[in-house]
Amino acid sequence: MKKIIPFFIFSLFSISIVAQVPATAKKSTLSKPKLVVGIVVDQMRFDYIFRYWDKFGNDGFKRLVNQGYFCKNTNFNYVPTYTAPGHAAIYTGTAPAVNGIIANEWYDKKTGENKYCVSDNTVSGLGTSASEGKRSPANMLTTSICDELRLSTNMKSKVIGIALKDRSAILPAGHTANAAYWYDGSVGSFISSTYYMNELPAWVTDFNKKELAKKYLSQPWNTLLPIEHYSESLPDDNKYETLAKGETKPVFPHNLPELMNKNGGLNLIRNTPFGNSLTKDFAIETIIHENLGKSEATDFLAVSFSSPDYIGHSYGPNSVEQEDDYLRLDKDLAELLKFIDTHVGINNTLIFLTADHAAPEVPSYLSDLKIPSGYVNEKKMIDSLKKYFIKNCNDSLILSYTNQQLFLNHHIIESKNISLPQVVDHIVSYLQTIPEVSEVLTAEVLNNTQFTEGIRYLMQKGFNTKRSGDVFVNYLPGYINHPSATGTTHGSPYSYDTHVPLLFYGWTIKHGSTINQIDITDIAPTLSMMLNIPFPNGCTGKPILFE
């Protein structure tokens, strides 16, 4: 008997284990995509989708709109609307106030020097000896959705960020990424840093050896369609476009082989649609060689197409150049989607597409159309303030005016026993007399008042107590700080800069659309809900309700 009882108990135990196996197996079949592909287009206005609709093919942007879910009223919910804060907000689900990415480059109060958003002197470049290799996400204060994916799968998910711009590859992929790759025009290659790895993978070196940048630049940039078809844009030769060095008119064809020497060598590819093609080529190679979407855990590829921003800055939103850029990007997008179809399967892949900011019309063009607009002379504005303080306090008291934020010299103010509130009051009163200035908010006000809507709310979300300046300035709609009356720039809280497309597609996404107001910081928590993983650790956005 003594032997029978233990055997009986053991048998029951064994049966219960066996009985649990199917239940465990069932649990593991929780639906999840094999791959997430985040696509950010640098400087894409919401209306480009419709403006160029008739000229797009069926397999790029139209495929996302016709089969995916379109959040038509998505806006950035802070200022400044620049590239680094844009990518950080999309992927961290929060604004500069929390994630600390207050601009592309900002005045660093600790060192007294300008700090680039992804600079990191503790790491070295891989594939380059240039300082462009010394990059990491260390300045971003919170996790990205990609970090949360890695953490929640015990680091089994693979995460890779790629873009021509370093900040657009690095910030989305987050702190725990397997890799981020960006383009170095001095070598015409995709590079990385020792933050991620000790040496470039062989497949990256092999890709670079193909010298695709050089090949793309070996031919003139001509329009994809006959030029008379570009009726959505201004005439090719117009006074609102910036000339490339070596050109006498801003017109097609742009002779790229000839222009290379005077326009940054292989960096010139950034200012052409072929920068997007090169990024697409590299994205496809990344998926193949890193086996993305081929394991049990969900992988994440964060891709950003940077060229539309360079082209927008030079030629503006109404140029044939930008239209051609988007028609070609549409083809690159179609190729990427087709590759995903065959390599991973669209039902296994969750795709989203958005932009890091939009862009205004060229102000001089608007002025000619009698729309209030123009240029802010920041140097003149701040020099006048400096002169006043030098006269009255024997010191300019101003350390920097960058990103529309004014940084005061607190050391001098304290050591000279000058009243800080009086200095700030004078600055506010003076700035309010400048015709192009619409809002002047002090750090004091931003730290002690809770704004809930409007421009001041957007300024507060872009204000980081530790990193931002003493006074935050906003300009009137239509006014920009830009060195010339050609081309354009972005950064404002107005819809021409904040309103961007947001499309979800693939995996279990149903076709549809909404005009509900969606904040850019809602994307990351929406992905969290889809992937059943935690929100990024500073997240302030809310998951989108699909109708």
SS3 48: helix
Whole-angstrom Cα distance, residue 473 to residue 536? 30
Whole-angstrom Cα distance, residue 42 to residue 357? 7
- Maximum pairwise Cα distance, the chain: 105
Residues 508-547 that bind Zn ion (CB under 5 A): none
Instruction: Point out the residue whose Cβ comes nearest to Zn ion.
Output: 309
Question: Residue 95 or residue 355: which is nearer to Zn ion going by CB?
Answer: 355
Nearest CA to 86 out of 412, 338, 306 is that of: 306
According to the binding rule CB under 5 A, does residue 120 interact with Zn ion? no
First vs last Cα of the chain: how many Å apart? 66
Closest separation between CB of residue 43 and Zn ion, Å? 6
Q: Torsion angle, CA of 519/523/525/529, rounded to 10 degrees?
A: 130
Whole-angstrom Cα distance, residue 291 to residue 384? 58
Residues 61-100 that bind Zn ion (CB under 5 A): none
**In DSSP terms, which residues pair with 162 in a beta bridge?**
181, 303
SS3 133: helix
The CA-CA-CA angle for residues 39, 161, 267, to 5°, reads: 90
Question: Residue 309 or residue 522: which is nearer to Zn ion going by CB?
Answer: 309
| 344: Cβ contacts below 8 Å, ≥ 6 apart | 34, 35, 287, 292, 293, 294
Question: Residue 188 or residue 360: which is nearer to Zn ion going by CB?
Answer: 360
Two tokens, residue 174: 């987050």
Whole-angstrom Cα distance, residue 345 to residue 341? 4
Question: Residue 90 or residue 398: which is nearer to Zn ion going by CB?
Answer: 90
Question: Residue 309 or residue 497: which is nearer to Zn ion going by CB?
Answer: 309
Q: Is 448 exposed, middle or buried (0-12, 13-18, 19+ CB in 10 A)?
A: exposed
Question: Residue 132 or residue 148: which is nearer to Zn ion going by CB?
Answer: 132
CB 164, CB 310: distance < 8 Å:
no
Whole-angstrom Cα distance, residue 309 to residue 497? 12
Closest separation between CB of residue 325 and Zn ion, Å? 14
Question: Residue 168 or residue 540: which is nearer to Zn ion going by CB?
Answer: 168
Site track for Zn ion across 308-347, x = CB under 5 A: -x--------------------------------------
Closest separation between CB of residue 313 and Zn ion, Å? 6
Closest separation between CB of residue 533 and Zn ion, Å? 31
Closest separation between CB of residue 321 and Zn ion, Å? 15
Q: Which residues are catalytic?
A: 83
Q: Where are the alpha helices (DSSP H) in 37-106?
A: 48-51, 61-67, 83-92, 96-99
Question: Residue 166 or residue 299: which is nearer to Zn ion going by CB?
Answer: 166
Closest separation between CB of residue 359 and Zn ion, Å? 8
Closest separation between CB of residue 326 and Zn ion, Å? 16
Angle in degrees, 0-180, between the axes of helices 274-289 and 320-343, rounded to the nearest 10:
10
CA distances from 490 to 24, 244, 405, 435, 439 (A): 52, 20, 16, 20, 17
Site track for Zn ion across 295-314, x = CB under 5 A: --------------x-----
Closest separation between CB of residue 163 and Zn ion, Å? 13
Instruction: State the number of binding residues for Zn ion (CB under 5 A).
Output: 1
Whole-angstrom Cα distance, residue 220 to residue 520? 37
Which residues of this chain interact with Zn ion, rule CB under 5 A? 309
